[in-house]
Every structure is written in C-alpha cells, then in structure tokens.
Amino acid sequence: MKKHVRFTMVVCLLLVGCTLLVAPPAVRAAGYLGPTAVVASADGQTLFVANSDAKQVSVVIGGKVSSIAVPSSPTGLVLSPDGATLYVTCIGTTSTVCAVDVKTGKVTATIPAGHTAIGPAISPDGKRLYVCNRFDDDVSVIDLEAKKEIARLPVTREPYAAAITPDGKSVFVINHLPLDPSDGYDVATRVTVIDTASNQTSSIRLPNGSSGMRGICVSPDGKYVYATHILARYQMPTTQLERGWMNTNALTIIDAASRKFVNTVLLDDVDLGAAVPWGVACTPDSKTICVTHASTHELSVIDATALLEKLSAMPADKEEAAAKGTDSSDRGIYASATAADVPNDLAFLVGLRRRVRLQGGGPWTPVDPVGVNGPRGLAVAGNKAYVALYFSDNMAVVDLEPKPGNVVSTVALGPKPNLTVQRRGEILFNDASICFQHWQSCASCHPDSRVDALNWDLMNDGLGNPKNARSMLLAHKTPPAMASGIRPDAEAGVRKGITHILFAVRPEEEAVAMDEYLKSMKPVPSPYLVGGKLSPAAEQGKKLFFDEKIGCAKCHPEPLYADGEMHDVASKGQYDRRVDFDTPTLIECWRTAPYMHDGHYTTMKDLFTKGKHGAKGGNIDNLSDKQIDDLVEFVLSL
C-alpha cells in the first residue's frame, strides 16, 4: 500500500527527501527564487517568504532583505503564537519541517513529515503542528514539544493547505483535486475537517465542478472559513468563453462552528475573468477578505461584512423567495433569486469587491513577466496585504485603505530574473492575460501542468464526447496528442489550445516557449516507492507487468511506458464515437486519477478488477487478488 514509510528508515529517507524534489535543473541554474508563501509577524514589522525554487526563506525587515538557508525547497511556513519560532515545510519524498529560531535565523530542529509537505497550521497553544502531506494524501499531526509526528490522518486527495480555528478545536484542510469518476454528474473536491480533540475527520463537499483548491484561511473572529478554487463548467461544450462558459473562479464560505457549507461566490466579473485564485487572508478585524489571482496578477479586496449580510439575506429556495417578494423578473439577468443561484452569479460581488491590479495600468495592459507576475502566497498585517510574486522574485505591498493614487509597491527579494525560454514558457502557461477576457490560463485545466480530474468536451474531435484532462508530463515525447489522437503531437496541441481554448491569437515564439517548458518537466518520485526503490510487492508486480502472457508491456513498453499507438481496450463509453484510444504514459500515473479516457475509474485497482483493463490484449483474468495488488503497486510506483 501507499504508506511505506517506517520510523527505522527516517534517516535514509530524509537524505532522499532533501535531494529529489527540488526545483528543476534549469530553474536552479538560472537562480530563480520562486516566492510562493509569506507570513507576517504579529506587529507586521517582519515578513518571512518561502522561496520554493531556492533552498531559502527571505526575511524582510523595513525593506531590507536577508535569507535563511533550509535543507530543501520550502513550500510553506507558519509562526509560533509567541513569534519566536518559524516552522518551514521543506519538500521531499520524506519532507523536513524545520524549526527556525527567529532571533538568530538558525535551524534548531528538523522533524520528518510525509511526501511533499506543504501548508502548515499551528494550534493556538503552540503545541501541535498540522502539516499537509500532499502526495501521501494525509496530514501529519506533530507534537512540537516532543518534536515528532504523533499521528497521520487520511484526507481525500492532495491536501494543499490547512487553517485552524482560534479556539483550536477544528483544522480545515483543502484537498487540491476531486476524487470522483469524472464521467459522473457531480465531480467536486472537498474540505476535510479535523476534530483536534479526537483526530476524527469529516468532509464538506463543494459545488459541482470545484477543483484546483489553493488557499484557505479562518477569519480572526473564528466565525468563517474561506477557501479559493476554480469552479469549472465542465459539462458545457468548450465553444466559447464569455460569461464564464468554461471556467469561473471562486471563493467558498464555510461556517466554522457548525462545519457546514454556506455558499460559493464568483470572483470574476461578467466580462472579465479573475483566473486561478490562490492565497486568501483576512484583515485582523475580519471585515475584509483578500484573495490573490495567480493568472491575472491582481488582488481582490472584498467587504466581508457586506458579503455575509447579503448571503444571509438570500432566500433558501423559490418558495421562500416568493414569500419575500424577491422572485421577480426585475432582478436583472445575472442576479440571484435564491442561495442556490449564487455560484452562478457573476455580478454577486458588484459593489462589494475591489480588483487591485498589482501592476500599473488597466486590465488589458500587457503583463511584465519580470515586474509583477504570479501572485500566490498572501499575508495581511494591519491595513496592508503582502503578496508573494512567484515569477518576478519580488513581493507586492498593497495598501488596503481605499484612497486615490497608487496603492501598490514592490520589494525585490533578489536580482531581477533573467528568463530562460523554459521559464518564459512556464510564465505563459500560467498567464490568463493572454486569454480572451482573462477567464483562464492553461494551468486552469492543467494545474502544475498535470490534471484537474475533470472531463472536458473539446471541439477537436466533435461535440458530445467528453474526455478526461491529461497530464502534460512527457506529452512531447509520446505523440499523438489527445485521447483520440486527433493532434499529431503536443506541438500541435499547444498551438490549437491557444487558439481554441484560450481563444487567442499569439506570436509563434510564445508557443515555442511553452513547448520548451513542457519538455523540461520532470516526474515527481512516486509515494509508493520505499527509499527511492520499488517495494517487494512492486517488484513482484513488475514481473507480472513484463510477463508476455499478461501483456501489459505490449502497449506500455519501457522507458516511457507508452507505445504511441491507438488501441481498442474495450473502453468505449456511451458518448464515444470510436473504440480505439491513444496509449498514455504510465509514468506518474499515481497522481492522474481518475483513469481511462473517460475518467470512469478512481483507482488503478478498480481499473483492473472492474474495468478488466488488459483482458483484451493479455491474460489478467486468472490473476489472484494478491497478484492484482502487486501489479497495481508496480504501476503506481512509476
């Protein structure tokens, strides 16, 4: 099974964890910082910024910048309640949580956590640390006095960030992706809730189409939880972008005390998207919510008091609306009649939100890739918001008091980046300003250039036959492109995607840069590996995989585990017009569920046992349950 880590192996795995999952070679060679998370001291005088493309944390005091070295790329950070210790999650197959003495800047202790630790949250008494282990699909509970992990709590899929209530009773954890059959009617991610007294978990399901969760916070008054995500309209054909036809961008509100969903509001405007919401934070008085938009390079500043009042006044259903006299035709074309209408209302935040462009000029001004680009992590102290700008290696400081004139300044965390063609391609892949009306970037459907776990009805092979989003990893080495093989290669797919998904006409050099970025992607080591090697079960599964009678390797040969051919594997669904589909690479398939071209199976085991995958071209019917488990273990280790 997935959880192979043993305490007797901690030292060995820590060494692996500090070397395997750092930034790609091209990124490290270019010296990028990649600021991705930021936390402020209680007085707002000191800022700590996690630079995920470097092995350091920047410390900003009065505009002066210094750095703290950490063992591997940092992904998240949190301050102890007394402000004396900074806890930094550092990436690895077995990650390291570093305790940093704030006064000296020295790492005083390291604590092992799981695969790709991220998004730490600390209890109000400073005794417990909750760490999201993204690719182990669980949360580490760490005793900070004993400096060791005391529990692992399973969550749904790819926990990305956590927030704890001021009373310390509840930890809310966002799951980055859904885990549902994507050919079903309702596909959505969840927020996991941990009861800190019992370590029992429950979950809150978000609206249909919710995916790509990135940020979460609890209001300082402890009343509400706010979480950012994409709200995809995946059941619509991808024929246009107007009015959020494909992807909208959202903020979900949860009642912290009852642990119940309140509603989801859209952060877009009717004719201008606010793509890829990421960080979220509240002002100390809980009256204002701030949200960064990673692909449109801006900050939303929302009147929380007015928003909550408006939501509480919404009728629950049409009957209540009629009784209140609000179910009239003069509401306007976009206005909500009931609470259920709110997640579809592009005008709900009109008058309640300011969109602050972090770079000067209007919304159609071209983005400077090394000026202000890629806002992600966010901290609020006093009346200022501090935004980590991933691609421009600096930080934006936004004055939240509405006043005339420029309210945005920047603090350089290092030299101005000298962009390689690969980095330019990564920037473009994550940039919605090149998209019609800024509704989405390539990363909206391919977060981290992988999958959003949704089916999309793309027009390239006709209307009415949706297919699961594919990872971009190795796409340029495994032609053709698309499940139906409709594009001869990934180069064609990139260019047609710009035209027919972003609905844009762009220079050829931008497509070339995206190609080079995607070609530079490296697989992340599987969480099923033990010490970087196959487990005993996976070794047995490998023998089965390459057994000629079983036949897996016929279509999935080494080294890419794809043969570049179309095959009929008896997977034709009710909407398909063909029976043969392109063979995908199995490398990193542990993170690309659901499986098959229509996303019908949420686990690899179900694909073999229920889907009978491989039975048409080989002999899997006579495998025992253990042999199936071993085969699954090997495939998920790739």
Q: How much is the pLDDT for 327?
A: 57
Fold of 536-635: Cytochrome Bc1 Complex; Chain D, domain 2 (1.10.760)
Q: Using an 8 Å Cβ cutoff, are 238 and 457 in contact?
A: yes
The domain spans of the chain are 423-520, 536-635
Query: Taking all residues of the chain, what is their mean pLDDT, rounded to a whole number?
Result: 92
> What is the mean predicted confidence (pLDDT) over 74-86?
97
Q: How far apart are CA 142 and CA 149, in angstroms?
A: 4
Give yes or no on whether 423-520 and 536-635 have one common fold. Answer: yes
- Does the pLDDT value for residue 402 go beyond 80? no
pLDDT (0 to 100) of residue 286: 98
* Residue 192 main-chain phi, psi, to 5 deg: -90, 135
pLDDT over 70, % of the chain: 94
Q: What distance in Å separates the CA atoms of residue 515 and residue 6, rounded to the nearest whole number?
A: 40
- Hey, what amino acid is at 529? L
Closest CA to 637 of 541, 495, 553, 549: 541
Region 313-334 average pLDDT: 70
What gap in Å lies between CA 230 and CA 267, rounded to an integer? 10
Q: Is the pLDDT of residue 12 over 50?
A: no
Q: Which CATH number fits domain 423-520: 3.40.50.300, 3.40.50.720, 1.20.120.1200, 1.10.760.10?
A: 1.10.760.10
**Is pLDDT at 7 greater than 50 in this prediction?**
no
Tokens representing residue 346 in the block = 């592009």
pLDDT over threshold 60, residue 2 = no
Q: Give the pair of three-digit tokens for residue 163.
A: 């927030």
Two structure tokens written together for 273: 């998207």
Asked if residue 357 has pLDDT above 50, the reply is yes
d(CA 628, CA 631): 5
Q: Where are the beta strands (DSSP E) in 319-412?
A: 353-357, 375-381, 384-389, 394-399, 408-412
pLDDT of residue 298: 97
- pLDDT band at residue 620 using 50, 70 and 90 as cut-offs: confident
Nearest CA-CA partner of 396 in 364, 362, 373, 429: 373
Termini Cα distance of the chain: 14
Give the pLDDT band of residue 22 (cuts 50, 70, 90): very low
Q: What is the DSSP letter of 615?
A: T
- The percent of residues in the chain predicted with pLDDT above 90, rounded, is 86
Burial of 405 (0-12, 13-18, 19+ CB in 10 A): exposed
Residue-wise pLDDT tens digits, 203-213 = 999 999 999 99
pTM of the model: 0.94
pLDDT of residue 615: 86
Side-by-side strand order, sheet with 394-399: 375-381, 384-389, 394-399, 408-412
Cα gap 196→256, rounded to integer Å: 14
How far from 102 is each of 48, 68, 79, 81, 105, CA to CA, in Å? 10, 10, 9, 12, 5
In three-state secondary structure terms, 254 is strand
Mean pLDDT of 614-626: 88
Tokens found for residue 554 = 């016929």
pLDDT of residue 360: 77
φ, ψ of residue 424 in degrees (nearest 5): -60, -40
For the stretch 154-175, pLDDT in tens is 999 999 999 999 999 999 999 9
From 140-154, 258-272, 356-370, the region with the lowest mean pLDDT: 356-370
The C-alpha atoms of residue 409 and residue 406 are separated, in whole angstroms, by: 8
Are the beta carbons of 195 and 203 closer than 8 angstroms? no
Buried b (16+ CB within 10 A) or exposed e, 54-79: bbbbbbbeeeebebbebbbbbbbbbb
Residue 347, phi then psi, degrees to nearest 5: -110, 5
Query: Among positive and negative, which fits the CA dihedral 390, 395, 396, 400?
Result: positive
Tell the residue number behind the tokens 């659901």, with chain if given: 594
Radius of gyration of the chain (CA): 24
Q: Which residues pair with 354 in a beta bridge?
A: 301
pLDDT tens by residue, 517-573 = 999 999 999 999 999 999 999 999 999 999 999 999 999 999 999 999 999 999 998
Query: For residue 27, what pLDDT is reported?
Result: 52
Q: Bridge-partner residues for 38, per DSSP?
A: 49
Pairwise CA distance, residues 466 & 185, whole Å: 12
**Residue 503 φ/ψ region, left for φ over 0, alpha for ψ in the -120 to 50 degree band, beta for the rest:** left
- Model confidence at 10, in pLDDT bands (50, 70, 90)? very low
**Sequence letter at residue 189:** T
Indicate the pLDDT class of residue 366, thresholds 50, 70 and 90.
confident
Name the H helices within 229-316. Answer: 304-312
Query: What is the reported pLDDT for 326?
Result: 65
The Cα-based distances of 492 to 29, 68, 460, 498 in angstroms read 29, 44, 11, 10
Residue pair 334/270 in contact (Cβ under 8 Å)? The answer is yes
Residue 60 scores a pLDDT above 50: yes
Greater model confidence, 575 or 450? 450
Q: With bands split at pLDDT 50, 70 and 90, how would you rate the model's confidence at 5?
A: very low
Residue 231: closest CA among 272, 189, 203: 189
Residue 141 — φ and ψ, nearest 5°? -100, 115
Helix (H, G, I), strand (E, B) or coil at 589: helix
Higher pLDDT, 332 or 14: 332
With a cut of 70, say whether residue 71 has pLDDT above it.
yes
Alpha-carbon span 374 to 36, nearest angstrom: 9
What is the predicted pLDDT for the residue at 3? 46
More confident residue, 371 or 147: 147
